Amino acid sequence: MDFIPLSDLIGGAAILAVGLFSLAALTITAFFPKARTAVFVTALLGAAAGIVFAGYSFPDNQTAFSDMLLVGGFANFYSILFLVIAVLTMVLSAPYMEKEGYRHSEFYVLVLFAAIGMMMMGASGDLITMFLGLEVMSVTFYVMAGLFRAKLTSNESSLKYFLLGAFATGFLLYGIALIYGTTGTTNLIRIAAQFPQAFDQPLHVIGWGLLLIGLAFKVGAFPFHMWVPDVYEGAPTSVTAFMSTGGKAAAFSAFILVFSIPMAMHDPRMTTVLAVLAAGSMIVGNWFGLSQTNLKRMLAYSSIAHAGYMLIGIASASPVGQQGITFYLVSYALTNLGAFGVVMMLETEKGEGVTYEEYAGLGRRKPVLAALLSMFMFSLTGIPPFAGFVGKYYLFASAVQSGLTWLAVLGVITSLISTYYYLRVVVYMYFRDGSAEEPSLPASSLAAVALSAAGILVLGIMPSLIFDVIVSMF
Partner 1 sequence: MIPLNHYLLLSAFLFSCGVLGVAVRRNAIVVFMSIELMLNAVNLTLIAFSSFLGDATGQMLVFFVMVVAAAEAAVGLAIIIALFRNKQTVNVDELNILKW
**d(Cα 325, Cα 255) in Å, to the nearest integer?**
10
Q: Which of residues 422-461 bind partner 1 (CB under 8 A)?
A: none
Among 23, 38, 159, 417, binds partner 1 (CB under 8 A): 159
Among 46, 234, 313, 391, binds partner 1 (CB under 8 A): 234
Q: How far is the CB of 19 from partner 1 (least distance, A)?
A: 16
Among 5, 181, 223, 384, binds partner 1 (CB under 8 A): 181
Per-residue DSSP letter, 440: P
Q: How many binding residues for partner 1 (CB under 8 A)?
A: 41
Q: What is the dihedral of CA 319, 320, 325, 327, to 10 degrees?
A: 110
**d(Cα 40, Cα 105) in Å, to the nearest integer?**
7
Q: Which of residues 23-82 bind partner 1 (CB under 8 A)?
A: none
Inter-residue contact 304 to 224 (CB < 8 Å): no
Among 34, 149, 266, 364, binds partner 1 (CB under 8 A): 149
Q: How far is the CB of 238 from partner 1 (least distance, A)?
A: 18
Segment contacting partner 1 by CB under 8 A, of 4-12, 184-192, 274-282, 351-359 = 184-192
166 forms part of the interface with partner 1 (CB under 8 A): yes
Angle, CA 318 vertex, CA 313 and CA 321 arms, to 5°: 30
Nearer to partner 1, 88 or 116 (CB): 116
**Burial class of residue 400 (count of CB atoms within 10 Å of its CB; 0-12, 13-18, 19+):** middle
Inter-residue contact 378 to 331 (CB < 8 Å): no
186 forms part of the interface with partner 1 (CB under 8 A): yes
Nearer to partner 1, 103 or 364 (CB): 103
Nearer to partner 1, 229 or 353 (CB): 229
**d(Cα 73, Cα 474) in Å, to the nearest integer?**
8
Q: How far is the CB of 122 from partner 1 (least distance, A)?
A: 19
Nearer to partner 1, 52 or 230 (CB): 230
* Residue among 35, 57, 122 nearest 85 (CA): 122
184 forms part of the interface with partner 1 (CB under 8 A): yes
Nearer to partner 1, 262 or 319 (CB): 262
Segment contacting partner 1 by CB under 8 A, of 4-12, 109-117, 168-176, 264-272 = 168-176
Which of 301-312 are b and which e, b meaning 16 or more Cβ less than 10 Å from the residue's Cβ? bbbbbbbbbbbb
167 forms part of the interface with partner 1 (CB under 8 A): yes
469 forms part of the interface with partner 1 (CB under 8 A): no
Per-residue DSSP letter, 55: H
**d(Cα 306, Cα 300) in Å, to the nearest integer?**
10
180 forms part of the interface with partner 1 (CB under 8 A): yes
176 forms part of the interface with partner 1 (CB under 8 A): yes
Nearer to partner 1, 45 or 192 (CB): 192
Give the up-direction half-sphere exposure of residue 17: CA atoms within 13 A in the CB hemisphere. 20
**Burial class of residue 30 (count of CB atoms within 10 Å of its CB; 0-12, 13-18, 19+):** exposed
Q: How far is the CB of 294 from partner 1 (least distance, A)?
A: 10
Nearer to partner 1, 107 or 309 (CB): 107
* Residue among 347, 339, 342 nearest 377 (CA): 339
Nearer to partner 1, 41 or 173 (CB): 173
Give me the amino acid identity at 448. A
Inter-residue contact 448 to 341 (CB < 8 Å): yes
The DSSP secondary structure of 240-255, one letter per residue, reads HHHIIIIIHHHHHHHH
Inter-residue contact 81 to 329 (CB < 8 Å): yes
Q: How far is the CB of 208 from partner 1 (least distance, A)?
A: 15
The DSSP secondary structure of 287-341, one letter per residue, reads HHHTT--BHHHHHHHHHHHHHHHHHHHHHHTSHHHHHHHHHHHHHHHHHHHHHHH
150 forms part of the interface with partner 1 (CB under 8 A): yes
Q: How far is the CB of 230 from partner 1 (least distance, A)?
A: 4
Among 7, 61, 153, 194, binds partner 1 (CB under 8 A): 153
Per-residue DSSP letter, 439: P
Q: How far is the CB of 135 from partner 1 (least distance, A)?
A: 5
Q: Which of residues 276-335 bind partner 1 (CB under 8 A)?
A: none
Backbone torsions φ then ψ of 118, nearest 5 degrees = -60, -45
Among 22, 93, 169, 240, binds partner 1 (CB under 8 A): 169
Q: Which of residues 99-138 bind partner 1 (CB under 8 A)?
A: 128, 131-132, 135
Among 48, 226, 458, 471, binds partner 1 (CB under 8 A): 226
Binding residues for partner 1 (CB under 8 A): 128, 131-132, 135, 139, 142-143, 146, 149-153, 155-160, 162-163, 166-167, 169-170, 173-174, 176-178, 180-181, 184-186, 203, 226, 229-230, 233-234
